[in-house]
Structure 1
Amino acid sequence: MYGLLRPLLFALDPERAHALGLGGLDLLRRTGLGGLLGQPPAPLPTRAFGLTFPNPVGLAAGLDKNGAHVDALLALGFGFVEVGTVTPRPQPGNPRPRLFRLPQAQALINRMGFNNDGVDALVRNVARAQRRGGLLGINIGKNKDTPNDEAALDYLHCLRKVYPLADYVTVNISSPNTAGLRELQEEQALRRLVAILREEQERLAARHGRRVPVLVKIAPDLSDSDIDAAGRVLGDLQVDGVIATNTTTARPGIGGLRHADQAGGLSGAPLMGKSTAVLRMLRTRLPEQIPLVGVGGILHGADAATKQTAGAVLVQLYTGLVYRGPALVGECVEALRRRKEAPSRGLVPNA
């Protein structure tokens, strides 16, 4: 069915198509017609961060910034859905147009800028969700006008608000679309921020009687020395997991394509090599007990298997869903199932 709908959606402005697509998913779920988009994959239980995921294929943050479509997205067969990025206060994001398709490269460029309705609105939305069939991650950030030396206050505010509802929380310090945000990945700034959040995580765990994992999402544009430093910090502070990676400001292999010169973060097929290289490097620099989530450039089931071979336990989709539709979810689950069942080929079964 998505093959029929995609030309219609691609004829629209990308943001308009985005909103219509999410609305359509909600309508199909409410009317019991979700099966038209395909059947969810068979379970492939996967352990990470002390949680059991129904399968290791998730939706990356950014598609559902306000947590308003959780049930419809879980119905597509994802083992987990990550909503956000959410900030303490509502903000409109960057001026439009701010989302661009590059279909020849199966890529997107976005400079959305954490547009969202604020953490209180997200909490209300998530509280209403039934959340059947998968786990929920909530991705948190800082407001655009919050200086970096006060950023921890924004992250603390969001962490406290979402903690009771989240299965895990992701700290986003790697979007290229909020000025100065990536400076929080520098070694000393990273150590300070993550230490503050880890302390609060333990206080919240005692208060709520459950420990919610906190992950950190990093950029694909770090130098080797920056990755070394990030590995030291995140290992020393014993974060629960790391997501590699966000979008890139580089433009690998898309020179000359329409929109290639637009500012913003590039996602989709051209990001696959760069994000996987960072994932592989992080796996060699982090303690084995810190799981990695691989995201960036997954357009086929084989791409998901490549991420696991590079060290990921879980994988996430975003741009691949735009180009391939819901069938990609099951394709990736089945590719990872085959990988798990084929240790004789020298592959390491999924933990």
Structure 2
Amino acid sequence: MNLIEQIGLSALRKIDPEASHGLAIKALQYGIAPKTEVYSSPRLKTSIAGLELANPLGLAAGFDKNATVLAPLTRCGFGFIEVGAITPRPQPGNPKPRLFRLTEDRAAINRFGFNNEGMDAAAARLAKRPKNAVIGLNLGANKDSEDRAKDFATVLARCAANLDFATVNVSSPNTEKLRDLQGKDALSALLGGVIETNAALNRPIPIFLKIAPDLTEAEITDVAEVANASGISGIIATNTTLDRAGLLSQHAHQKGGLSGQPLFEKSTRVLAKLSTMTDLPIIGVGGVGSAEQAYQKIRAGASAVQLYTALVYGGMGLVTKITRGLDELLKRDGFESVKQAVGSGRSDWT
């Protein structure tokens, strides 16, 4: 992290977290944020569900909710980018304050509730997206929808023409009863509708399913069974947690989903367990803040990883730091590719 980025992060951490996030988006829009080439090497180049990645480190959904900074994000060093979540109709989300910085825990709690400008606004921006990047969209459902399962397919149909992949997000804890869609029968029906819509597109795209970290072992088994039979292309493990064990911050009691460092172990154990139940590729997310943690996710069974909350504390310079460090770790352990390392340390987590 250079001096300018250090000063900028320090200033942003002194103001309201949601306002700070808005300023970070503005900085990207106006070209103020640091720019870097995507770091890659023969070891880091990989593919997942047919997507060719320069490196396996992606930006998780939630940072660029409305696809407003697609071009700037492609200059931040990510191997792939996921924007959203996007719902069919615009919605304001939950009342403010709804984002809390847990500095002592290097974490955050959010209860945004899928605040976004809707699929038409997102589709217009995606139509102008950079072509030299891998960009996906997190699909969401409106809070007041009479058919939430249908909402996911609706957003996919509207936006898919300019996407490389899409993610079915039934794991946010901030929309009432949304996580109920992770139940076996409900999830099977939902994914069936999304896959049917995808198959009817002129250019079908990979579909991922994002799951919660708070599932029981039986629930993980159910998710794996449904995923294996559904025709989806992969799983993203995991979203934020409702667990508050071991937190130090004064904001620990706030309602919402917890992300960042406290989630690392929990989410990595879920992905490791899941990887023993499916041959589908898994994207590991939750608590990634260093090259070593990205490497641990891969060794636990992830084919690629994502981060978001760590950027609050490490800035965009963290992206290249992690990809370069991951390259060195793969080299150190004699791996010629990311794929060779996937699952090599699964037993440490199961």
TM-score (norm 1): 0.92
Aligned to 2:276: 284
Aligned to 2:49: 49
Query: 1:24 and 2:27 equivalent?
Result: yes
Aligned to 2:330: 340
Query: 1:274 and 2:266 equivalent?
Result: yes
**CA distance 1:229–1:17, shift in 2 (3 Å):** same
- For structure 1, the 5+ residue unaligned runs are none
Aligned to 1:78: 78
Count, aligned residues: 336
CA distance in 2, matches of 1:239, 1:183: 19
Q: How does 1:209-228 map to 2 (within 5 A)?
A: 210-228=203-221
CA distance in 2, matches of 1:213, 1:9: 36
CA contact (8 A) 2:166 2:205 kept: yes
Aligned to 2:348: none
CA contact (8 A) 1:49 1:291 kept: yes
**CA distance 1:237–1:135, shift in 2 (3 Å):** same
Specify which of 311, 327, 334 is matched with residue 301 of structure 2: 311
Report SS of the residue matched to 1:144. Answer: coil
Query: 1:200 and 2:197 equivalent?
Result: yes
Query: 1:182 and 2:185 equivalent?
Result: no
| Superposed CA RMSD | 1.8
Query: 1:139 and 2:138 equivalent?
Result: yes
CA distance in 1, matches of 2:269, 2:138: 23
Residue identity in the other structure for 1:319: T
Aligned to 1:172: 169
CA contact (8 A) 1:301 1:328 kept: no
CA distance in 2, matches of 1:211, 1:197: 11
State the 1:299 CA deviation.
1.1
CA distance in 2, matches of 1:284, 1:273: 17
CA contact (8 A) 1:135 1:167 kept: yes
CA distance in 2, matches of 1:248, 1:151: 22
Aligned to 2:98: 98
CA distance in 2, matches of 1:63, 1:131: 20
CA contact (8 A) 1:99 1:110 kept: yes
CA contact (8 A) 1:46 1:350 kept: no
Deviations 1:161-185 (A, max 9, x none): 1111110000000000000000000
Residue identity in the other structure for 1:169: A
State the 1:39 CA deviation.
4.9
